[in-house]
């Protein structure tokens, strides 16, 4: 499994670095990767205002290239024998592709050691994807003895040549102290280099650093700008994060229309959590002009069906949607399932603090009481940031042809028009 994942992630990104990947025929891999990418990347920007402390950012970054690959490559895979001949003649793209196929066992018998040998040959020719891939092999111990210092050194070599994925990986090495002394500020510098090359996942992660003040001065307004760049680049979880920023008025003016528009665009992807986020919005938005219980039920059921394991968040969303649609009996049953699913989750999730667990337990129980009382759950009006300005480059309302909603009275202190 590890070899397959490494093979996919390294190949997908190579297409963006002017390798002759079209000749290598990567469409099938790209389609497979698109589904994997959506499922993995969703953990970056959940609907709730949280962010996991530990992520394998290089996986997230490179997997996220898959959405772009599908439209850019043809399904014309090179015969392994011909590919090997090309590699033997010293073609670095062929050496990289052959190494990746051997690593994942695609059309060839899986052999991580041979894969490493071919990637080493490509790296010796200053082939940037091969250099970065070699760093990944050292970091994970696939085909080579695990060595975090060597991993960092190979990432750095490719990064210094301007390879964005390697810059992202160098950033992660500094962030987590892998192969180099931990340094959040240096991590932010390298991540900024990758983000400024218009690579959507790096832009989103840089936005998160700005939003949270991790290794860089906190600036929610600038964070929103980077989320927008990433979202416009096609990263689904940046779309939902930007939607959430609009939903709570963080870094941008409170704007439920724009929030809905970005949630809807994200929901058209294959990411089940994006559909979950839209379902939650349609179920619990403070502005009842945006409620649509029936559609929310459809989105929530679709999200739940696409997840291999029961996720308490999605079950919780389905319960809210059922209540919004007036089906309180099923909402109670579903919310009870959400609570049971959370009981299982909290025992395995080591990142949850006791305070987080207690808060979630209380929220889930309170919603259950609400449904038993034949009432839907509605979130409270958020206390948004003052002094924010609209993002001038955000054309989501026009692009999505969002209808205007009825005007409503905003709560005291909220001196803006929400819709």
Own/partner pairs, 117-121, CB within 8 angstroms, 24+ separation: 118/87, 119/95, 121/87, 121/92, 121/95
Residue 78 forms part of a structural domain: yes
Helix axes 184-195, 164-176, angle to 10 degrees: 160
Please state the φ and ψ torsions of residue 30, each to the nearest 5 degrees.
-65, -40
Q: What is the mean pLDDT of residues 179-205?
A: 96
Q: Say how many CA atoms lie within 13 Å of 26 toward its Cβ.
A: 35
pLDDT given for residue 77 in this prediction? 67
pLDDT, tens digit, 9 for 90 and up, residues 332-353: 999 999 999 999 999 888 788 9
Phi and psi at residue 258, in whole multiples of 5°?
-70, -35
Q: Report pLDDT for 6.
A: 54
Assign 72 a pLDDT band (cuts: 50, 70, 90): very low
pLDDT for position 390: 94
Model confidence at 268: pLDDT above 70:
yes
Q: Over range 249-266, report the average pLDDT.
A: 98
Looking at the domain assignment, is residue 349 inside a domain? no
Task: Give the count of domains, the chain.
Answer: 1
pLDDT tens for each residue of 381-392: 999 999 999 999
Which two structure tokens, joined as six digits, stand for 215?
Answer: 């290794």
pTM metric for this prediction: 0.79
pLDDT grade, residue 404 (50/70/90)? confident
Please give the structure tokens belonging to residue 251: 């870094």
In the predicted model, is pLDDT for residue 141 greater than 90?
yes
260-278 as b/e: b if 16+ CB within 10 A: bbbbbbbbebebbbbbbbb
Residue 313, pLDDT score: 96
Angle between helices 80-88 and 92-104 (to 10 degrees): 130
The model's confidence at residue 188, banded by pLDDT at 50, 70 and 90, is: very high
pLDDT at 405: 78
In a domain, 60, yes or no: yes
Q: Is the pLDDT of residue 214 over 80?
A: yes
Is the per-residue pLDDT at 182 higher than 50? yes
| The predicted structure's pLDDT at residue 206 | 96
Q: What is the pLDDT of residue 351?
A: 82
Q: Is residue 280 part of a domain?
A: no
17 compared with 195, residue with greater pLDDT: 195
Is 339 contained in some domain?
A: no
| Structural domain harbouring 125 | 2-209
- Kindly report which listed range (1-10, 14-23, 48-57, 133-142) carries the lowest average pLDDT score: 48-57
CATH number, position 151: 1.25.40.10
Does pLDDT of 40 surpass 50?
no
State mean pLDDT over 50-63.
35
The verdict on residue 183 lying in a domain is yes
* pLDDT score recorded for residue 131: 97
- CA distance linking residue 267 with residue 373, whole number of Å: 31
The predicted pLDDT at position 28 comes to 31
In a domain, 396, yes or no: no
- Kindly state the percentage of the chain with pLDDT values over 90: 73
Is the separation of the CB atoms in 290 and 281 below 8 Å?
yes
Provide the mean pLDDT of the chain.
84
SS3 373: coil
Average pLDDT estimate for 15-24: 36
Of 19, 59, 67, the residue nearest 274 (C-alpha): 67
> Does a structural domain hold residue 81?
yes
Question: What's the burial of 214, exposed, middle or buried (CB within 10 Å: 0-12/13-18/19+)?
Answer: middle
258 vs 385: CA distance, rounded Å: 16
Distance CA 419, CA 408 (A): 8
Mean pLDDT, rounded, for 251-275: 97
| pLDDT score at 347 | 87
pLDDT tens profile 74-101: 345 678 899 999 999 999 999 999 999 9
pLDDT above 70 (res 218) = yes
Quote the CA–CA distance of 139 and 141 in Å, as a whole number: 6
């Amino acid at each position: 499994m590890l070899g397959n994942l490494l093979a996919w992630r390294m190949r997908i990104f190579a297409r963006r670095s002017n390798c002759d990947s079209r000749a290598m025929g990567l469409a099938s891999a790209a389609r497979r990767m698109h589904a994997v990418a959506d499922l993995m990347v969703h953990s970056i920007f959940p609907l709730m205002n949280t962010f996991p402390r530990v992520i394998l950012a290089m996986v997230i970054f490179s997997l996220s290239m898959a959405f772009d690959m599908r439209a850019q490559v043809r399904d014309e895979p090179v015969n392994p024998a011909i590919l090997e001949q090309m590699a033997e003649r010293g073609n670095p793209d062929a050496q990289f592709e052959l190494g990746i196929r051997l690593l994942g066992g695609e059309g060839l018998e899986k052999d991580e050691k041979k894969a490493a040998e071919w990637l080493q040959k490509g790296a010796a020719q200053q082939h940037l994807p091969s250099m970065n891939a070699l760093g990944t092999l050292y970091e994970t111990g696939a085909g080579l003895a695990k060595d975090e210092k060597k991993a960092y050194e190979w990432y750095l070599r490719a990064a210094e040549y301007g390879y964005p994925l390697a810059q992202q990986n160098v950033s992660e090495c500094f962030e987590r102290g892998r192969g180099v002394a931990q340094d959040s500020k240096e991590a932010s510098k390298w991540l900024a280099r990758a983000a400024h090359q218009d690579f959507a996942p790096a832009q989103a992660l840089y936005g998160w650093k700005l939003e949270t003040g991790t290794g860089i001065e906190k600036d929610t307004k600038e964070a929103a700008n980077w989320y927008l760049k990433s979202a416009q680049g096609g990263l689904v979880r940046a779309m939902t994060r930007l939607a959430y920023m609009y939903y709570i008025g963080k870094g941008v003016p409170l704007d439920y229309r724009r929030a809905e528009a970005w949630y809807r665009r994200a929901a058209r992807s294959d990411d089940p959590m994006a559909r979950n986020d839209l379902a939650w919005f349609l179920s619990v938005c403070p502005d009842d002009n945006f409620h649509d219980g029936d559609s929310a039920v459809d989105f929530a059921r679709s999200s739940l069906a696409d997840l291999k394991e029961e996720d308490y968040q999605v079950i919780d969303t389905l319960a809210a949607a059922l209540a919004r649609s007036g089906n309180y009996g099923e909402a109670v049953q579903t919310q009870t399932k959400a609570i049971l699913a959370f009981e299982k989750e909290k025992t395995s999730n080591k990142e949850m603090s006791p305070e987080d667990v207690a808060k979630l337990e209380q929220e889930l129980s309170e919603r259950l009481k609400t449904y038993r009382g034949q009432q839907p759950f509605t979130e409270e009006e958020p206390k948004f940031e003052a002094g924010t300005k609209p993002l001038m480059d955000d054309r989501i309302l026009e692009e999505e042809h969002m209808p205007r909603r009825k005007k409503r009275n905003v709560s005291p202190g909220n001196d803006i028009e929400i819709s």
